[in-house]
Amino acid sequence: MGSPSTYALWRRLVAKPGGKQLFSAAMCLRVPYFATVLPTVRELRPGYCSVTAPKWWGVHNHIRTFHAIAACNLAEIAMGMLAEATVPASHRWLPKGMEVSYVAKAGTGLRAIAELPEIPEFGDHGFDLPVPVRIVDSGGATVVSATITVWVTPRKSSSPPE
């Protein structure tokens, strides 16, 4: 299950000292915009991802709280890593849309938790996969809730037609 490269790398690094930080740095090299929130992947498995980001001046808005779009970036990181760990190598995924509710000011560092209620069947047809993401502050209060819809399709076969 999951992308052979991303999820396998996580499994190899997670138990090593500094492994989560090394994995997170590699993720940011692959997707440089993610680095703007200084993310650290904390937990990753099929159907679940938890990512944290500190509150620092680079994510501040005009009132010195965590900027709404920076929080959306954190949500997309959690969704993307969940997708990498969940969607089998026989399929591919692409974000299609995001619905976001900003429910409270985010005055601390944040944790984004993406979690599927159940792992779907990955068949022969494309389908929308809504991924719920909850973003909480350091006290555990929800500050942002989001649903990111992912379009999942089988990879095209590279074998020639018969």
- Tens digits of residue pLDDT in 58-86: 999 999 999 999 999 999 999 999 999 99
Question: Of how many residues is the chain composed?
Answer: 162
Mean pLDDT across 14-25? 95
pLDDT at 162: 53
The residue ranges of every structural domain in the chain are: 6-154
- Tens digits of residue pLDDT in 90-132: 999 999 999 999 999 999 999 999 999 999 999 999 999 999 9
Task: Using the Cα atoms of residue 145, residue 146, residue 147 and residue 153 in order, give the sign of their dihedral.
Answer: negative
- Cβ distance 85 to 2 under 8 Å? yes
State the fold for domain 6-154: Thiol Ester Dehydrase; Chain A (3.10.129)
β-partners of residue 103 are: none
Per-residue pLDDT for 4 more than 80?
A: no
pLDDT band for position 3 (cuts 50, 70, 90): very low
Output the six-digit token pair for 76: 């997309």
